[in-house]
Amino acid sequence: MTIANVTAGTIIDPAWGNSVADALNNRVITWAINSADQTGITTAVDVTGLTATWTADASHLYRISAELSIGASAAPSIAAIYITDGASGSKVWRRTNVAASAQSELIATELVTGLSGSVTRKIRAIAQFGGSITVYGTGDQKGSLIVED
């Protein structure tokens, strides 16, 4: 039996060790939520509050996910978000068109293994074209950064 064949009610062979438990039970290592709107963004900026640091194990696979709600100024814009390391080195980025005076959701995910020691990931945003953008962080439009093992 492979891990892909495990379903509810299946008896798991203890000889498989922890690999099955690891595959079935991803866990949140750390997370962050922004709590204020950031307006007038035209150049790359750190999204306030969306930084996470954890102690990584090189044998683990990590999923780092970011989700932001972004609005455009009066002009249409191309907005991008980046998952970066602590020194702002880009790891993953995603972009979208945002219509004038509208908003869009952006989601980016990094899958990575081989990290060890203290690791930092942060979220950055930029208006790549057009007018400025706003990263929302209030009410039910808060952005998030989640690190899972």
- 89-148 confidence digits (pLDDT tens): 999 999 999 988 888 999 999 999 999 999 999 999 999 988 899 999 998 889 999 999
| DSSP letter for each residue of 33-87 | E--S-EEEE-S-EEEEEEEEEEEE-TTSEEEEEEEEEEEE-SS-EEEEEEEEETT
C-alpha–C-alpha distance, residues 99 and 79, integer Å: 10
Give the span between the Cα atoms of 48 and 51, in whole angstroms: 8
Amino acid present at 43 = T
Instruction: Give the mean pLDDT of the chain.
Output: 87
Per-residue pLDDT at 131: 86
pLDDT value at residue 1: 42
Residue 69 to residue 105: CA distance in whole angstroms: 5
148: left (phi over 0), alpha (psi -120 to 50) or beta: beta
What pLDDT was estimated at residue 92? 97
Assign residue 22 a region (left: φ > 0; alpha: ψ between -120 and 50; beta: otherwise).
alpha
Query: pLDDT for 27-60, tens place per residue?
Result: 999 999 999 999 999 999 999 999 999 999 999 9
- Report pTM: 0.81
Backbone angles phi and psi of 92, in degrees to 5: -150, 145
